[in-house]
Amino acid sequence: MSDPADPLVALRALVAGELATPVRPSVEWLATEVAAQHGDAVLGVLFYGSCLRNETDEGVLDYWVVVDDYAAAHAKLGHAAANRIAPPSVYYLEREYEGRILRTKYGVLDRRTFERGTDLGARHPYVWARFAQPARLLVCRDDEARAFFEGAVAEAIVTFVARLFCHLPAQGGLLRFSLSAFWQTAFRTTYDSERRPEADETIVGNYRADEARYDEAGRLAFHVLARRRFLDEAMEHPRSFSVTVAPARLTRMRLRWRVLRATSRTLGLVRLFKTAFTFGDWVPYVLWKLEKHAGHEIELTERQRRHPLIFAWPIILPLLMRRNLRQDA
* Alpha-helical regions (H) of 37-109: 50-53, 70-73, 77-85
pLDDT of residue 78: 75
* pLDDT, position 108: 94
**Please, what is the angle between helix 143-164 and helix 111-118, to 10°?**
30
**What is the reported pLDDT for 71?**
86
Rounded CA separation 151/325 (Å): 32
Which one, of 64, 108, 105, lies nearest residue 83 by Cα?
A: 108
Q: DSSP labels for 158-210?
A: HHHHHHHGGGS--BTTEEEE-HHHHHHHHHHHHHHHTT----HHHHHHHHHTT
88 cis-preceded (ω within 30 degrees of 0): yes
Please tell me the predicted confidence (pLDDT) of residue 198.
75
pLDDT in the model for residue 311 = 54
Task: For CA atoms 166, 167, 172, 178, give the dihedral sign.
Answer: negative
The C-alpha atoms of residue 52 and residue 204 are separated, in whole angstroms, by: 16
Q: Which residue ranges form the domains of the chain, and what is each CATH number? A: 7-278 (3.30.460.10), 283-321 (no CATH)
The predicted pLDDT at position 326 comes to 46
**Interatomic CA distance for residues 276 and 295, integer angstroms:** 25
Predicted local distance difference test score (pLDDT) of residue 304:
58
The pLDDT tens digits along the chain (329 residues) read 456 689 999 999 999 999 999 999 999 999 999 999 999 999 999 999 999 999 999 989 999 999 999 888 887 777 788 778 888 888 889 999 999 999 999 999 999 999 999 999 999 999 999 999 999 999 999 999 999 999 999 999 999 999 999 999 999 999 999 999 999 999 999 999 987 767 788 899 999 999 999 999 999 999 999 999 999 999 999 889 999 999 999 999 999 999 999 999 888 877 767 766 666 555 666 666 555 554 555 566 666 556 555 555 665 566 555 544 444 44
Task: Please state the φ and ψ torsions of residue 58, each to the nearest 5 degrees.
Answer: -80, 160
No. of helices (H) and no. of strands (E), the chain: 16, 8
Helices assigned H by DSSP within 20-142: 25-36, 50-53, 70-73, 77-85, 111-118, 126-131
At residue 329, the pLDDT reads 47
